[in-house]
Amino acid sequence: MDNTNIEELTKKAEAFIELLYAELDKSEEETENRLISVREQINNLGSYLHTEEELVHGARMAWRHNSRCIGRLFWDKLEVIDARQAENEDQIAEALLQHVERANNGGRIRPVLTVFRSAEDESQRIRVWNHQLIRYAGYPSIDGSARSGDPASDHFTRVCQQLGWQGTGGNYDVLPLVVGIGDGEPRLFPIPTDLIQEVHLSHPEIERFPELQLRWYSVPIISDMQLEIGGILYTAAPFNGWYMETEIGSRNLGDTGRYNLLPEVADLMGLDRSTNTTLWKDRALLELNRAVLHSFKQAGVSIVDHHTAADQFVRFQQQEEERGREVSSRWSWLIPPMSPSATPIWHDQSLMELDLSPQFLYQSPAYQGWLEALDGPLKSADSELISPSCDSDSKETTTVSLPEMACPFHHKM
């Protein structure tokens, strides 16, 4: 590492240690001793090792700083699992499966983050190739046949198939885990069925709703972002919160680029789709979200509605103000995708995105170059792989198209 990079890392490390130790009410002596130790490690090794306390609180701070998350009221409840000792793909996969089980918690979803070793040595850099640990496969239309599954997973499904996995071709095939280390061949790990918790959707009033045969998995575990703490990058640090109902009803099931189910819901309800003036989309969207809320509650799986989530965000703002901390917020990502003007966030003109660290950062899909090597340049991206052209101040660390998400813990994808 050259002197410029050492100076930059030292600066970031010092800023983090000073901020963290102040929040934890450490003494000046403790702070100075730790700063001396960190500087020595960086000068001798070109990097430094976080203590478990620094890792845990740093990860929690990254959630607190995430400008696109509406659910930050509970940032200090994040459970952080230190898996930096995992050396090979088998150990990594075991830790990922343990994360799934711990997060599900029988339906009472826990916010959990599992962090693997940092990424200084590229030959040993760990990447989880999945966008989420649990996600459904996508099967594009072939020769005019009907497509199935989640369009957002089309490319990654192709990766899994190239690695030997085969699904049923249905709408709800859960993809396997794929883990890579450095430039080594990625390895595939099927997820045991007893760890996959799904909720089948019904409706509190529409008796025929189960005829649609809809379902969704219980917890969104984002696994392709990197965690930055004090200048150290953790390229594998999967994490989860719990769902907000519009993420499933409005986005995953309702978006035209995803399962596109509003027409089917409207037809089941007997709505007139011949003209937009009947507001059939709005009515179908509402009932689809009601079905999600109802079904998760009936199944005993944690979920929050978008009005409650917005109220919780306001409480988070108030708490942070009382503690003298600024809140980084991007309005366009915090407003829910249904009835946003009925929430207090819609009317808040004070929201501003700030450059805060620790933080979560985007990184290019681990499989991008690998898939192009097999099939040539990708002619189209997954619906989740979009250019940040409308995001001129975004903080992506590479110039390629990246997964765009509203929030790691309460995301829009």
> Looking at 54, 228, 247, 384, which residue is catalytic?
247
> Looking at 34, 60, 64, 72, which residue is catalytic?
72
Is 94 tagged catalytic? no
> Looking at 129, 242, 280, 333, which residue is catalytic?
242
Q: Are 313 and 343 a contacting pair, CB within 8 Å?
A: no
User: Secondary structure of 316-347 in the HEC alphabet?
Assistant: HHHHHHHCCCCCECCHHHHCCCCCHHHCHHHH
Is 79 tagged catalytic? no
Q: Are 104 and 195 a contacting pair, CB within 8 Å?
A: yes
Q: Which of 281, 258, 209, 266 is nearest to 411 (CA)?
A: 258
The answer for 164, left when phi > 0, alpha when psi is -120 to 50, beta otherwise, is left
> Looking at 69, 117, 258, 330, which residue is catalytic?
69
Is 87 tagged catalytic? no
Is 160 tagged catalytic? no
Distance CA 176, CA 132 (A): 10
List residues with catalytic annotation.
69, 72, 242, 247
